[in-house]
Each structure stands twice: as structure tokens, then as C-alpha cells.
Amino acid sequence: MSVAYDVDSTAGANPNDLEAFFMPFTPNRAFKARPRLVSRSKDMHYYTPEGRPILDATAGLWCANAGHNRDPIVEAIQKQAAEMDFAPPFQYGHPKAFAVSARIAALAPGDLDHVFLCNSGSEAGDTALKIALAYHATRGNATRTRLIGRERGYHGVGFGGISVGGMSPNRKLFGSLLPGIDHLPHTYNREKQAFSKGEPEWGAERAEALEGLVTLHDASTLAAVIVEPMSGSTGAIPAPKGYLKRLREICDKYGILLIFDEVITGFGRLGYAFAAERYGVVPDMITFAKGVTSGAVPMGGVLVRKHIYDTFVKSDDPVIDLFHGYTYSAHPLACAASLATLDLYREEGLFERVREIEPIWADAFHTLRAKKGVLDIRTVGLVGAVDFESREDGVGRRAYEGMERAFHEEGIMVRTAGDTFAVSPPLIINESQIGEVVDKLGRVLDKIF
């Protein structure tokens, strides 16, 4: 199949051949029959190879919180590429690795003072789970090996992430996964929470299931609980009021580590550097990625509290503290991009801005309630999700390929998943663009239903 698009060709490669790229999380054959391509981005927009603007209502993939191709980030990457392209992250260090870690730690609540860097949210999730196991083993609690995730949770695609994750299509074909895993129930209940703005009132009691797992397995076998403050990939489900606090209390009572996966919620999405601050709960670890560089260069990481760092980093002995790491941990281009991104967030007050516009966003987004086919709408921070009537079934199928095409034709980028779509625009969105997002979404709903 051949499509004309604008790309610098290299000898021997056919730029019109879409077959070679095995696209992730995509029905390849169907997509390649009618591909949607973008080849340029700036601020709130993508552009097709033909130059048609696409309003970015998903920050790429929950990434570009500062907007696209911001000059200071572009310049920082260019400068770093010219200065030092790569540096090994162990045996040697480079200044920006330390600088960016200190900056990220300064944004985190409590004594989340140390940062382990990697390259993605998946690596961050697996890193946090490994740190949890090693923490207990190092402290002489080697029986604490059980890990607890949640139904409808998403923690990336590593074996650790899919084991604690609660999305069945991501798990089914991949063998026995990790042993010793349990899942807490998810907190979504349409009858009790429909059309919520911010944290739903109902649902904190769902945390009590953790007490049940303690009774079942005994606390001496439990290593860690990992949850997203807002489940993103399964439809933007914010933790209910009091839920995370209750998890924290139960974890404290039984010596279980609490991990927040903030790959989506980190860096301003819910109006704070980390959602932990919004919820007033300090977990033992926070995983992050995406917004840390506004998506410009891959980077992820794990914030750990002092008691965890101190468990490994005890003395001056020349003994390796943690046998874990990646060639590209603290990649210089990622560190440079992140430092410039964090500067932008601060200079433009983008996290505070989300707090200011959250009510405007929520009111505008909830007007979609009047549309046919809409079953529920949720907003929190600068996130909005719509559950719509199912018209086809089949887990993992893109039942709404038609809807994705309609969004594309309408000139808006939206994340669809099953019978939900979610939007999470760059934090630089202005009020008229909020109106444009809602109008475009409304027109697509009118067209589909």
C-alpha cells in the first residue's frame, strides 16, 4: 500500500511503504489502509504532511504539557546534542543528571528526595517494583514479596507493569506473568459517581479491600501497593475523596510500601507538580515520565523517599547500592530537555494555571452531557473523559475506528479507548481553544450517534 507523505528518503528505503513499522497498540492492517499521519507540531497543534492543523487535545499522549516544540526546549536539546551526546550513567556522571534530579525532587512533597532515572513510564513502573522488593530484602524482610495493583490500573508494558496492571488485553497472551500478585478493586461506579467534577465523593471504602489482602496473606508477605491517583488508560477515573489517604493509613499500619504511578498525573495535569500534593498524601515512591520533558525526549524516573534511599546507600564502602539501571538512564538530551521544560513550567506558572482553569474546563466539558450517546462524563484537573454507548463489542478491538476517523476529519487529536474517549490538552490551552475542543468533540458525537 502506498501513501504520499513528506519525509526525507534514504537510499534503499521507500518512504511510502508503511509495512515495516509494526505499530504498537494498533490494528496495523486497518490503520495502514487509511493512515492518519502528522509530521509537524507547534504549541497546541499538530500538522498533517499536507499542512492541515490538528488541535492537540491529548498533549500527544499525555506528554506535551508545555505545548509542542517550545523554543527553549528545542534550543536546550540542540545545544546539548552539540556539546555531549551521550554519557554513561554509571562509573561516570554528568552535571545535568544531578541538576535535573534535584529539580524534580524539589517539586515532590515530603521527603521524596531522591530520583532514579530511566526512559519511560514502563521502566519507571518496573524499577519501582524492583526497588520495593530489594528494599524489604535488604532490611531482612525477604518474605515481603507480594505486589498489589488494581483492576483497571495501567503501569506500562514491562512484565512487572502488566502483572500489577488491571487491563486484561494487556495481560492475556503473555504467560504466567509475575507470581504473588493481587489486585484491589477499581473505584469506578457509574450509579454513584456519574458526571463527576474533580474527585468523586463515593468510593473511599474501596480501599478497605487492602485490609482483606492483609488478612488473606499476612502483612509479612506484602511488599507494595501501586496505584494511579487517576487511572488514565482505562478512562480517566480519579481516586475518590479519602481513598488514597486510607490506602496510606493501611500501608503504614502494616509496613507496606505505597507507590503512586504519576506517569500521567505528574507535571501539572491535575494542577500540581504531582497529584500526591493535590491529594495530600505522601507515597513512598512516585513513578513519572511523559511531562518531565514535555514528551520532547524519552525520560522516566522514580522518586523515592529518604528511608528507601538510605536503606541502599548506607556507607562509604565501594559496593554497588542497587543492581539496576539502564544504559540511557539520565541521557544528556533528556536531562537538557527536562531542565528546559521545568523552567517553562515555572516561568509560565503552568501548574497553577491548571488550578485556575479547572472550573472553566469542567463547566465547558460537561456541556457535552446534552449530546446523544453520552453515558458519563468525568473531569479532573485538565482532563476530561466521555463514556459513550457501545455499538460493537470485542475486547481490544477498535470498535470506534469510525470515531477516530471523525476526530481526525474534524481536526482534533483525542485518545479513544474502548467506549471512552479522554482528552488532556497541553497546559497552555487558552479559553477560546477550550471552546474549540468542546465544539469539535460535540460535532463528532453528533456525527457518530
Closer residue to ligand PMP, CB minimum distance, 424 or 433: 424
**Residue in the block written with cell 551521550:** 86
Residues 263, 298: Cα–Cα separation, whole Å: 12
DSSP state of 445: H
Residues 348, 429: Cα–Cα separation, whole Å: 12
Closer residue to ligand PMP, CB minimum distance, 244 or 445: 244
Return the number of other C-beta atoms located less than 10 Å from residue 138's C-beta.
15
Closest distance of CB 413 from ligand PMP, Å:
15
Closest distance of CB 235 from ligand PMP, Å:
12
Closest distance of CB 403 from ligand PMP, Å:
20
Closer residue to ligand PMP, CB minimum distance, 263 or 344: 263
Residue number, nearest CB to ligand PMP: 121
The total number of residues shown for the chain amounts to 449
Q: Can you give the binding site for ligand PMP, defined by CB under 6 A?
A: 120-122, 125, 154-156, 228, 232-233, 261, 263-264, 289
Which residue(s) pair with 148 in the sheet?
182, 225
Closest distance of CB 178 from ligand PMP, Å:
16
**Beta strands of 262-330 (E only): which ranges?**
285-288, 300-304
CA-closest candidate to residue 132, choices 153, 109, 155, 110: 155
Closer residue to ligand PMP, CB minimum distance, 129 or 133: 129
Closest distance of CB 253 from ligand PMP, Å:
26
Closer residue to ligand PMP, CB minimum distance, 196 or 233: 233
Beta carbons of 125 and 233 less than 8 angstroms apart: no
Closest distance of CB 80 from ligand PMP, Å:
21
CA-closest candidate to residue 363, choices 195, 248, 251, 173: 195
Closest distance of CB 157 from ligand PMP, Å:
6
Q: What is the dihedral of CA 6, 7, 13, 14, to 10 degrees?
A: -10
Closer residue to ligand PMP, CB minimum distance, 284 or 406: 284
Beta carbons of 421 and 414 less than 8 angstroms apart: yes
Closest distance of CB 372 from ligand PMP, Å:
30
Q: For the residues of 73-142, what is the DSSP string, one character each?
A: HHHHHHHHHHH-S---SSSS--HHHHHHHHHHHHHSSTT--EEEEESSHHHHHHHHHHHHHHHHHHTT-T
Closer residue to ligand PMP, CB minimum distance, 33 or 61: 61
Closer residue to ligand PMP, CB minimum distance, 154 or 421: 154
